[in-house]
C-alpha cells in the first residue's frame, strides 16, 4: 500500500496509530476529570489505558500487514518496519507498566488516575520519536514524552525523594533539550533543512562533512540524546531519579525512554549523517565510558534499586555499541536488545515492588536472604532476570549481547567488542550476589518475606516477561527476523552508499 503523504487522507492513515492513541488519551482525560476519587476510578482508568494500548497496537499491525510505504520524498513520517517494531515495543512496555502499576498505586495510596493519562501521552511521544523523519517531529515527540515523565517521576507527592527526583529530572532534562534544539538549529543552518533524508543528501552532495556548523550541531544533538539515554558523562541524574521515582515509573523510564531515544538516534545518525566518520569516534568513546562507569559503580551498590539504576546505565553503553557500526546489522542488534532489556528490566523492577514499600529505596540486596525458601517462584523469576541482564546462555539477554558483538566485530570494532565482554564479566559481580543471597543464605528472621506478594495483574506481567526471556533465549528466530527487517529499513537516502559492516540481512518470508 503506497501512501502519498501530501494528501490528507493518506497522511491520516500514516498517522493512524498516533491518532488512535491521542483519541484514547483525550477520552481518558475526560473520564479522569469526572472520576478521580476512589480505587474503582483508578481501576477504570487502568482498564481504559490497556484498551487504548491494545487498539493502538492493532492500528500499527494494520499498517505493517498492508506493508504501507510512502510515495515521494521529503516526508516527515516514516512508514517502515523499524517504526512498526519500535512502536510495538513501546506499546508493550507501556502495557506491562500498567499491569505493574495497578496494584502498586493502590498499595501506596496514590489514588491518582491521571497517572494513566500521563503514561499515554508519554507513550505517544515515544511513538512520534520512533516514526519521525524530521528533526522537528523528533523534538516534538521528545518534549511530549519528557514533560509527561517529569510529572510521573514526582507523582508521589508525600515522598521527598520523589519530589527531588522530579526536580532533578526536570532541570537536567530541560538542559538536555536545550542542547538538542540548539543542535537542530545549527544543523538547519548548515544544511538548510530539518528533513533527515534531505540532510543526508546535502551532507554528501555539498560535502558538508568539513562544515564546522554541521559538526557542532551534530555534537550538540548527540549530547542531548546522551542525557536521555543516561550515557556517561551525561548520566548524573539517572541514579537519584530512578531511586526516588515510584518503582513502576522507574521501570518505564529505564526501558521506554531509552528505547525511544535510541531509535531516534539511530535514524538521525544513519539517515541524516551517512558519513559515519562525523560521529563514530564520539559515539564509540561514549559507549566505552558508559559500559565501564556503569558497571564499576554498580559493583559498589547495596541497594537493589540503585544497583538496577546503575545497571541501566551500563546497558545504555551496550546499546551504543550497536549504534557505532551504523549498519543494518547494528540497528537490528539494537532493536533485539531493546526488546530483551525491556522484558528483563520491567520484570526485575516489578519483583522489587513485591519486596519493598514506599518507593523501595531501602530494599538492600541482603534483605533478599532466604527468599527462595519462602517464595520460590518470586526468587526463580528474579534469578532469571538477573541471569538475562548478565547475558547468561539460554536467556534473551545472551542472544542480544551476542548479536551486538556480531555487529561490532563485523564493523571491525574489536576494542568495543572486547570492552563489552569484559564489562559483562564485571557485571557478574553484582548480578550473581542477588541469586546467591536468595538461594544460599537463611532468612534473617522468621517470616521476613511474609509480605512478599505480587498482585494478580503484576504477577501475570512478570510471568509473561520471564517466559519471554526464556523463549527468546532458546528460540529467538522470529524476533531476530523482525529485528533484521527493521534494521534493513533504516538506511541512508537512496543513491548514497551504505556503511559496510557485514552482510546486509535479507527480509524473512511472512
Q: SS in 3 state form for 75-129?
A: CCECCCHHHHHHHHHHHHHHHHHHHHHHHHHHHCCCCCCHHHHHHHHHHHHHHHH
Residue 495 pLDDT: 53
- Other CB atoms closer than 10 Å to residue 506's CB: what's the count? 10
Question: How far is CA 399 from its chain centroid?
Answer: 18
Contact present, 431 and 368 (Cβ < 8 Å)? no
Burial of 289 per CB tally in 10 Å (0-12, 13-18, 19+) = middle
Separation between Cα atoms, residue 120 and residue 32, nearest integer Å: 13
Concatenating the DSSP letter of every residue in 314-329 gives HHHHHHHHHHTT-SHH
**CB neighbour list of residue 272: distance below 8 Å, 6 or more residues apart:** 135, 187, 196, 197, 199, 200, 203
What cell was used for 72? 515521494
Q: Which residue has the cell 515527540?
A: 141
Separation between Cα atoms, residue 318 and residue 345, nearest integer Å: 14
Q: Which of 465, 445, 304 is nearest to 373 (CA)?
A: 445
Contact present, 469 and 339 (Cβ < 8 Å)? no
Helix 16-34 × helix 39-65 angle, to 10°: 170
508 phi/psi in degrees, rounded to 5 = -80, 165
Residue 329 lies in a domain: yes
Separation between Cα atoms, residue 295 and residue 423, nearest integer Å: 7
| Residue positions counted in the chain | 510
Q: Which of 126, 119, 52 is nearest to 87 (CA)?
A: 126
Contact present, 471 and 394 (Cβ < 8 Å)? no
Residue 503 pLDDT: 44
Q: What is the DSSP letter of 394?
A: T
Residue 327 lies in a domain: yes
Structural domain of 356: 2-489
Residue 140 pLDDT: 93
- Over the chain (510 residues), what is each successive 10-residue block's mean pLDDT? 79 91 94 85 91 95 86 78 93 94 85 90 94 92 92 85 86 88 92 88 78 89 92 87 89 92 92 85 92 92 89 93 91 93 93 75 82 88 93 92 92 91 92 91 76 85 93 92 89 58 41
Separation between Cα atoms, residue 38 and residue 251, nearest integer Å: 25
Residue 399 lies in a domain: yes
Q: Which of 338, 342, 332, 340 is nearest to 486 (CA)?
A: 332
450 phi/psi in degrees, rounded to 5 = -65, -30
pTM over 0.85: yes
CA atoms within 13 A on the CB side of 186: 19
Separation between Cα atoms, residue 147 and residue 152, nearest integer Å: 9
Q: Which residue has the cell 499491569?
A: 99
449 phi/psi in degrees, rounded to 5 = -110, 25
- Sign of the Cα pseudo-torsion (379, 381, 386, 392, in order): positive
Separation between Cα atoms, residue 145 and residue 123, nearest integer Å: 7
Residue 359 pLDDT: 57
- Sign of the Cα pseudo-torsion (196, 201, 204, 205, in order): negative
Residue 499 lies in a domain: no
Separation between Cα atoms, residue 483 and residue 151, nearest integer Å: 33
Separation between Cα atoms, residue 96 and residue 101, nearest integer Å: 9
Residue 344 lies in a domain: yes
Separation between Cα atoms, residue 270 and residue 277, nearest integer Å: 11
Residue 102 lies in a domain: yes
Separation between Cα atoms, residue 332 and residue 85, nearest integer Å: 11
Residue 504 lies in a domain: no
Total of domains in the chain: 1
Residue 171 lies in a domain: yes
Residue 67 pLDDT: 85
Separation between Cα atoms, residue 341 and residue 287, nearest integer Å: 17
Q: Using only C-alpha atoms, what is the Rg of the chain? A: 22
Separation between Cα atoms, residue 182 and residue 194, nearest integer Å: 13
Residue 72 pLDDT: 66
Separation between Cα atoms, residue 412 and residue 331, nearest integer Å: 16
Separation between Cα atoms, residue 54 and residue 493, nearest integer Å: 33
Residue 73 pLDDT: 66
What cell was used for 258? 531509552
What cell was used for 190? 548548515
Q: Is the peptide bond before 203 cis (omega within 30 degrees of 0)?
A: no
Amino acid at each position: 500500500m503506497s501512501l502519498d503523504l501530501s494528501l490528507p487522507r493518506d497522511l491520516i492513515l500514516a498517522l493512524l496509530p498516533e491518532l488512535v492513541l491521542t483519541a484514547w488519551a483525550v477520552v481518558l482525560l475526560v473520564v479522569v476529570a469526572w472520576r478521580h476519587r476512589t480505587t474503582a476510578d483508578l481501576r477504570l482508568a487502568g482498564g481504559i489505558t490497556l484498551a487504548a494500548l491494545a487498539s493502538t497496537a492493532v492500528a500499527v499491525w494494520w499498517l505493517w500487514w498492508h506493508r504501507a510505504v510512502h510515495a515521494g520524498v521529503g516526508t516527515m513520517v516514516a512508514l517502515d518496519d523499524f517504526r512498526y517494531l519500535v512502536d510495538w515495543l513501546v506499546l508493550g512496555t507501556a502495557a506491562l507498566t500498567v499491569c505493574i502499576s495497578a496494584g502498586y498505586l493502590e498499595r501506596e495510596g496514590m489514588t491518582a488516575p491521571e497517572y494513566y493519562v500521563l503514561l499515554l501521552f508519554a507513550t505517544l511521544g515515544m511513538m512520534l520519536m520512533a516514526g519521525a523523519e524530521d528533526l522537528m517531529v523528533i523534538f516534538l515527540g521528545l518534549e511530549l514524552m519528557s514533560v509527561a515523565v517529569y510529572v510521573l517521576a514526582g507523582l508521589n507527592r508525600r515522598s521527598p525523594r520523589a519530589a527531588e527526583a522530579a526536580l532533578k529530572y526536570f532541570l537536567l532534562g530541560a538542559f538536555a533539550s536545550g542542547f538538542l534544539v540548539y543542535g537542530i538549529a545549527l544543523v538547519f543552518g548548515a544544511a538548510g533543512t530539518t528533513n533527515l533524508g534531505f540532510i543526508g543528501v546535502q551532507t554528501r552532495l555539498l560535502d558538508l562533512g568539513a562544515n564546522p556548523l554541521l559538526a557542532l550541531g551534530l555534537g550538540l544533538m548527540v549530547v542531548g540524546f546522551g542525557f536521555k539515554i543516561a550515557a556517561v558523562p551525561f548520566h548524573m541524574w539517572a541514579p537519584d531519579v530512578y531511586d526516588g521515582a515510584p518503582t513502576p515509573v522507574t521501570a518505564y523510564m529505564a526501558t521506554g525512554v531509552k528505547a525511544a531515544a535510541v531509535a531516534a538516534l539511530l535514524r538521525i545518525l544513519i539517515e541524516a549523517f551517512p558519513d559515519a566518520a562525523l560521529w563514530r569516534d564520539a559515539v564509540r568513546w561514549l559507549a566505552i565510558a558508559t559500559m565501564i562507569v556503569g558497571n564499576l559503580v554498580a559493583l559498589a551498590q547495596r541497594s537493589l534499586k540503585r544497583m538496577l539504576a546503575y545497571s541501566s546505565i551500563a546497558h545504555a553503553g551496550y546499546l551504543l555499541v550497536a549504534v557505532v557500526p551504523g549498519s543494518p546489522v547494528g540497528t537490528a542488534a539494537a532493536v533485539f536488545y531493546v526488546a530483551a532489556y525491556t522484558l528483563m528490566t520491567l520484570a526485575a523492577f516489578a519483583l522489587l515492588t513485591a519486596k519493598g514499600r514506599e518507593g523501595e529505596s531501602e530494599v538492600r540486596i541482603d534483605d533478599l536472604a532466604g527468599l527462595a525458601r519462602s517464595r520460590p517462584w518470586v526468587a526463580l523469576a528474579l534469578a532469571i532476570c538477573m541471569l538475562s541482564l548478565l547475558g547468561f546462555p539460554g536467556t534473551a539477554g545472551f542472544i542480544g549481547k551476542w548479536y551486538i558483538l556480531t555487529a561490532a566485530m563485523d564493523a571491525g570494532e574489536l576494542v568495543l567488542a572486547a570492552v563489552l565482554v569484559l564489562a559483562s564479566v564485571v557485571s557478574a559481580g553484582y548480578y550473581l550476589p542477588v541469586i546467591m543471597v536468595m538461594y544460599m543464605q537463611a532468612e534473617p528472621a522468621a517470616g521476613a518475606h511474609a509480605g512478599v506478594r505480587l498482585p494478580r495483574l503484576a504477577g501475570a506481567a512478570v510471568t509473561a516477561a520471564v517466559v519471554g526471556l526464556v523463549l527468546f533465549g532458546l528460540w529467538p528466530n522470529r524476533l531476530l527476523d523482525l529485528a533484521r527487517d527493521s534494521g534493513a529499513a533504516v538506511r541512508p537516502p537512496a543513491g548514497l552508499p551504505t556503511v559496510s559492516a557485514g552482510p546486509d540481512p535479507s527480509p524473512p518470508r511472512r
